[in-house]
């Protein structure tokens, strides 16, 4: 009888343990399922929000760059001088005038290059004009037919003992920032010695 009780008790204990293990294996693990799904929900939200500000519409609102009038070039300018500025101490002051002969507005910006020349196709004679920076350079907008002026001073070549006199047929003029030139016929005397500076030139201003 004692051995039957032990066997019967062992059987009940084993059955209870087996049932407990089956319940544990089959039951849901709630904390683990919540932890797995929570990050997926929170991480999807920022990516959707950050995509909206960086679309093509933000770059299309930037205005396109605009271009202004081009610089005046020799091919669309006419040159002249106005000697009403008078003279002093062997020098003559005149206004160098450049007039826009083109169909579009253009800009004169800064100092022209000026030298005396033997003829329309000849090389410069002597030293080119030295810049007179007493008047600041400024942009001068020329509508078609309008002129800009710069003060040009010519010192008589005969005033210099070391001057090797040469005949000049006129002035060769380079508009600011241009490599092409305009020839202005105006016979005068030049110095072949490039160490002697007969000319000074100011920056362009609106013609008065």
* CATH code of residue 153: 2.60.40
Would 163 be classed as within a structural domain?
A: yes
Residue 2 lies in a domain: no
The mean predicted confidence, pLDDT, of the chain is: 78
Within a domain: residue 42? no
60 in a structural domain:
no
Phi, psi of 185, rounded to the nearest 5 degrees:
-65, 125
Number of domains composing the chain: 1
Within a domain: residue 21? no
Report the b/e string of 121-150 with b at 16+ CB within 10 A. eeebbbbbbebbeeeebeebbbeeebbbbb
The residue range of the domain holding 77 is 70-206
Is the pLDDT at 4 greater than 80, yes or no? no
> According to the model, what pLDDT value does residue 109 have?
95
Taking the C-alpha atoms of residue 9 and residue 17, their distance in angstroms, rounded to an integer, is: 13
- pLDDT higher than 50, residue 45: no
Has residue 158 been placed in a domain?
Answer: yes
pTM: 0.67
Question: Would you say residue 171 lies in a domain?
Answer: yes
Residue 85 confidence (pLDDT): 65
Identify the band that residue 68 occupies on the pLDDT scale cut at 50, 70 and 90.
confident
Name, in order, each residue with C-beta under 8 angstroms of 78's C-beta and a sequence gap of 6 or more: 98, 99, 101, 182
Contact status, residue 41 vs residue 63, Cβ threshold 8 Å: no
Residue 174 within any structural domain of the chain: yes
Predicted local confidence at residue 173, as pLDDT: 97
């Amino acid at each position: 009888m004692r051995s039957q009780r032990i066997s019967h008790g062992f059987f009940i204990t084993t059955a209870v343990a087996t049932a407990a293990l089956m319940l544990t294996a089959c039951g849901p693990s709630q904390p683990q399922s919540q932890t797995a799904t929570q990050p997926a929900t929170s991480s999807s939200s920022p990516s959707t929000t950050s995509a909206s500000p960086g679309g093509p519409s933000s770059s299309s609102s930037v205005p396109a760059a605009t271009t202004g009038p081009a610089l005046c070039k020799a091919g669309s300018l006419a040159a002249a001088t106005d000697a009403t500025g008078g003279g002093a101490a062997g020098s003559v002051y005149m206004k160098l005038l450049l007039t826009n002969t083109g169909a579009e507005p253009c800009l004169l910006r800064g100092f022209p290059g000026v030298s005396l020349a033997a003829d329309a196709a000849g090389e410069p004679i002597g030293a080119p004009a030295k810049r007179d920076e007493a008047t600041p350079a400024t942009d001068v907008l020329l509508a078609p037919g309008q002129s800009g002026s710069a003060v040009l001073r010519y010192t008589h070549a005969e005033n210099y003992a070391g001057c090797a006199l040469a005949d000049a047929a006129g002035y060769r003029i380079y508009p600011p920032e241009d490599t092409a030139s305009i020839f202005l016929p105006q016979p005068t005397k030049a110095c072949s010695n490039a160490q002697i500076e007969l000319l000074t030139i100011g920056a362009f201003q609106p013609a008065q």
